Each structure stands twice: as structure tokens, then as C-alpha cells.
Chain A
Amino acid sequence: MTLAEAPSETPSEQALEAHFEATIARNDRIEPRDWMPEGYRRTLVRQIAQHAHSEIIGMQPEGNWITRAPSLRRKAILLAKVQDEAGHGLYLYSAAETLGVSRTELIELLISGRQKYSSIFNYPTLSYADVGTIGWLVDGAAICNQVPLCRTSYGPYGRAMIRVCKEESFHQRQGYELLMTMMRGTDEQRAMVQESVDRFWWPALMMFGPPDADSPNTAQSMAWGIKRNTNDELRQKFVDMSVPQAEALGVTLPDPELRWNEERGQHDFGQPDWEEFMQGVKGNGPCNAQRMAHRRRAHEDGAWVREAATAYAAKQRGASA
């Protein structure tokens, strides 16, 4: 029995809030029927929806290469990966639904441009090496962002993330394995991998969000246990992990400032072009219009099918009633 379910002795807002804060402080989960501050609910809905939208929009850049995968085995791996992303979208929309918003409403918000998705997917995929680079760096950065979310304070979100993270780390391995294989191939393939890494390295760093100094929502999200690490902490971790992986692969990361800092025990590295990042966020990135148009078209093309399913289900209910 939760406090929210005891209408007869309506506890004061203060008591509810204190109970909520105590749950967070103990690192326990908040569950759908628990009382939660409106701001917490709103922040969660925004974050989970944005995450779900990213999974769905994220199907497009890699989906772009399904019909051109150069071997039957790679085609199967890629198709299965893009299918997994659809599955991630499903789990996350379901997690958001526990907060009282439907998938239909959220998709409407995506399509009308009122909710965002990760800007990384507004970069184009220009060669088959991008399939590998996205697995290695983009799924890799996503994992860095998401592993701490497995411990996020909201139960359904944390549990969805545990499932998602397992699959993302599989994607990362497969992407890295593709790049490794290509590096053992021809000179042209090695050049293709390097060119792809050159294009995706900085956008991958942008995936952690703006520097902490420019990230106004971080403090509240951390206090609520929605976020567990700051943007800069996660970015640093990602860089430190990626450097030895790049070396093993035999590619150069395109950052002249990148070097090991003995004193800090971490790498120093340069800053991505935050102006370009902001353009992407504002909708002016290289593929924003294309990604949105694709999603809108697929959604609109499917409208008559969804209507038919609804009508059929209603007839079935009518017949059995």
C-alpha cells in the first residue's frame, strides 16, 4: 500500500515529499503508483520519451544500409540490430506509459517536432564502415550514458534500461568486430574505416550533452536520482575507454589535443564544435529534415492500417459481447 492510495487520511504534501525524498536517499526505486513531485514526473516523461524517440529515429541511419549490406551474414546482423532498436523503442514507450502518457501521444509529439531525439542521428551514414562505427562509438557512447540509468530512481525506466543495455553492448561488439574485419581487408576498406571514424568521433562526444557548466538541468536530475553522472564525467570515461580500442583497431582519433595526462590519470581532449551541436538541436543538422520526413511519412502511411486494426477489434468485441 502506498501513501498515494490512502485517500481517507490525505497526507500533507510535505509528508509525501519527505517520503519521496527518503526513498531517493536510500537509493530505492520509485514505482508508478508511488507519489512523486510533478516536476519529477515531467522530467522523466521528457527523458524517457526522448530516449524512445531516439531509438526509433536511430533505426534510419543504419537502416539506410540494410539493402546494401555486402554479405549475407552482415545483412542478417544489421537487420537484427535495427530490429532491436525498434524493440528498445517499444520497452521505453511502455515505461513512459506507466507515467500516464500513451505511445500515440508521444509519437504525435515527436512527429510534430515538440519532443526531441538524440542529435547523433541527424548525421548521415555515407559508407558501410559507418555501420561499424555507429556500433562502436554511438552504441558505445549510448552505453556509457545508459549503464548508470539502470540504477535510475524510477523503477520501470531502470528495468527497461537493464534490458536495453545488454543489447546495446552486443551491438557495440558487433560494430567493433565489423571495423576489425574491415581493417584486415583492403587499403580501400581501411581508408573507409578511418574516414568514418573521422566523421563520427566528434558527434559521438556530443552525445553526452553540453559541458556541465552549460547544462542547467543536470543538478536537479542528479538530486532526483534520474541522472547519476554529469555530462563531463561520462564524456571523460568514454574517451578513456575509446583510446585503447582505437589503437587496437589501428585508427587515429581526429583530435590533436588528445593525450594521456599522467597527473589526472585520464586523457586530455579537445572540445567538439558546440555551435554545430546547437544547430542540430535546433533542427538545422544535416539530416533533421530527412529523418523527420521519413518518420512522418511512415506514420501517415500506416494510419489506415492502425484504423483498420482498431475497427476490427471493436467489431470483435461487439460480436462477443
Chain B
Amino acid sequence: MTEHIHTSPEDEHESAYSGLLVNDAHWAFGTDFEDPLAGVDTTIPDGVDAATLATYALMLGDDSLVMSHRISEWTSNAPDLEDDIALSNIALDLLGQARLLLARAAKADESIVPRLPEGSPAPPEDALAFFREAHQLRNVRLAELVNGDFAEATVRVLLFSVWRLALFERLRESRDHVLAAVAAKGVKELAYHRDYAARWFVTLAHGTDESRRRLLTAYDALWPLWPELFDTHPVEAAAAEAGVGVDPATVREAAEGVLDQVLAAADIERSEAPRRSGVLGRTGRDGMHGEPLSRMLAEMQSVARAHPMGQW
């Protein structure tokens, strides 16, 4: 079977690579900054404290910012091309969530945005991502761990997405339009992340002796950080009280129900490992992190900080 090729060579050349100098508003000569919140109602709902809303959005935004970064470190390192693509997808989804949530935080309360030199073109969500110190980040500690092997990535994505999906399912009803919109979109993304990780969890559990051993090692290593995901920080309690946020303690049962199904399919018992304590009672949500986060930020922020007046 053969097919005839109709397109003339010149047409193809023209369309594929002579478009760079077209004065196209969306491209080369257009504006380089799109407001991620364009078209969304950003008014603060009645009776909601702006600082509470901003800090709550920051917490959820930092979770996705840091988790996305760690997963993006897998790009070009995954076991197979399909997984490289899938992990990049997960990182991209979380990055998209981070951008919206940090922009939401900044819009709700400008005072949380680091001050850059006068005239810096960096948008507020970038100022938040690239110009804060580790202790100013509010992410849960599960997100920030240094990457391990593929079993570690599988378990971490599973725990993170099962927890976050349970949160976002409820956050869809937030009185804040931005948070509700982020959650509505995020639910679909997180369901995919969870299914991807759950499939690998079961595959590694029943694959070879080595894959099961590695999976159990990763599971035991990460389990101590699971309870922290359901701690209620005062900001989360206040956001839930105001009808804009979700108290994580209230989704624990739903999340563990889902996790138990995956564990059952993998023939793995619920871990007995005790929870990891904090420092003087403070953990990720309080800005208390492990050692590797500041190193991760040093790398992530290096170019942005070297050019605070830069246009990107």
C-alpha cells in the first residue's frame, strides 16, 4: 500500500520555518507575561481574612511547587521513555497548580510577596517562588525529600496524590473562586497521578523479588511523613472555618480508605513505622524543613536571583 504525497516542498518549507518574523501578537513581538489569573474572579469572599486566605493558598502552592521540582528532576532519568513522559506530565500539572496558587496568594495579600528592587518585572508568583528562603516555604515535608529510586518516586507520588486528591475533592466547594477553580481542574490531574503511581505500586509489589524489596523499603521510609499530611495548622483551621479551605484532618479517613485498597492489591500491610517528629513541635506547614530544601532552592532560584531585574 502506498499513498501519494501531494504537498509541494516549497509550501512545507514556508509553513514550517519561516514564521518567526511574522508580527504575531501572541508570539515573538507580543507580551511575554500572561496573568495566570486572567478572567477569574479574585475578590476575597465576605468575612474572609486576607492574610489567612493568602497563607492557605501559599501552603497548597508550596506543596505543588516543591513536589513538581523534585519530580522534574526525573526528566531524562526515568526507567523508560513512557515513564519519562508521564513523570514530566505530573511535574507540569503540579507546576501549573503552583503558579495559580502562588498568584492567588499574592493577589489576596500583597504583603506576603518578597520585595524586589524597584522596577523588577518579575510577576508576584515568581517573586514568591524564587525570592523566599526555605523557612518561608510552607510545604509538607513529604514533598521536599531528595529523590531516591523509582520505587521511592512511586510511593511518594502515590501518598502525595491520594492525600491531595482527597483535599481537592472538597476544595472544589471553596467560597474562593480561584481555589475552587484550581481544585476542580486539579482533581482530574491528581486522579491521573494517583492511578499512574498506584499501577506502578502494584506492579512493583508483584514484579520481582528485587522490585518488591525496593518498594517496601521506600514505603517504610516515606510512611513516617504520612501523618503530617493530616495535621491541622491554625491557618488551615481558620481557612476551613471561613469556608475557603479544607481541614486536612477531615479527609484522613477518605484518603486512607483509598490507600488501603492499593495496599491490598499490592498485598502489603499498613506500615507500623512511627510518625516523624518536627523541631520543637514545628513541621513543614510552620516553615520547618529538612536540610535538603535550602539546597534545592539554591539551585532553583539561582538564575532568577542573579537577575532580579531580568525579563524572562
Contacts and interface: CB of A to CB of B under 8 A. Distances in A.
Interface in A59-105: 59-60, 63, 65-76, 79-80, 82-83, 86-87, 89-90, 93
Interface in A197-249: 228, 237, 241, 244-245, 248
Contacts of A176: 20, 28
A189 interface: yes
Contact of A311 (B17, B72, B207): B207
Given A28-B2, A29-B2, A177-B28, A67 B73 contact: yes
A70 B312 contact: yes
B17 A140 contact: yes
A116 interface: no
A128 B79 contact: no
A315 interface: yes
A90 B81 contact: yes
Given A186-B307, A304-B211, A72 B78 contact: no
Interface stretch (A7-15, A143-151, A254-262, A280-288): A143-151
A284 B20 CA distance: 34
B312 A147 contact: no
A228 B12 CA distance: 13
* Size category of the binding interface on chain B: 35 or more
A309 B207 contact: yes
B80 A306 contact: yes
A312 to B, nearest CB: 5
B89 interface: yes
B299 interface: yes
Interface string A39-70: 00000000000000000100110010111111
A265 interface: no
A86 B85 contact: yes
B265 to A, nearest CB: 12
Nearest to B73: A67
A115 B50 CA distance: 60
Nearest to B5: A151
A38 interface: no
Contact of A83 (B34, B69, B85, B208): B85
Contacts of B122: 71
Contacts of A70: 126, 130, 303-304, 307, 310, 312
Contacts of A28: 2-5
A79 B77 contact: no
Interface string B61-87: 000000001001101111111111100
A306 B312 contact: no
A271 interface: no
A294 B20 contact: no
B76 A294 contact: yes
B214 interface: yes
Contacts of B225: none
Contacts of B244: none
A248 B300 CA distance: 31
Contacts, number: 218
A155 interface: yes
A263 interface: no
A267 interface: no
B159 to A, nearest CB: 19
Interface string B1-26: 11111010100110011111100000
Nearest to B149: A301
Contacts of A60: 76
B309 A72 contact: no
Interface in A156-195: 158, 165-166, 168-169, 172-173, 176-178, 180-182, 184-186, 188-189
Contact of B99 (A67, A73, A150, A245): A73
Given A147-B16, A304-B210, A72 B203 contact: no
B92 to A, nearest CB: 6
Interface string B232-265: 0000000000000000000000000000000000
Given A28-B4, A185-B309, A306 B20 contact: no
Nearest to B22: A173
A79 B83 CA distance: 14
Nearest to B17: A143
Interface in B15-65: 16-21, 27-29, 32-34
A76 B92 contact: yes
B210 A308 contact: yes
A2 B1 contact: yes
A305 B211 contact: yes
Contacts of A245: 20-21
Nearest to A298: B77
B5 A27 contact: yes
B275 interface: no
Given A73-B312, A151-B7, A182-B312, A79 B92 contact: yes
A30 interface: yes
A248 B23 CA distance: 11
A21 interface: no
Contacts of A241: 17-18
21 contacts: A28-B2, A29-B3, A29-B5, A59-B76, A70-B304, A70-B310, A71-B123, A76-B95, A86-B84, A147-B13, A147-B17, A151-B12, A166-B16, A173-B19, A177-B28, A186-B307, A241-B17, A302-B78, A304-B211, A307-B211, A312-B207
- 10 closest residue pairs by CB, A with B: A308-B207, A302-B79, A185-B311, A308-B211, A305-B79, A83-B88, A28-B2, A70-B303, A70-B304, A59-B76
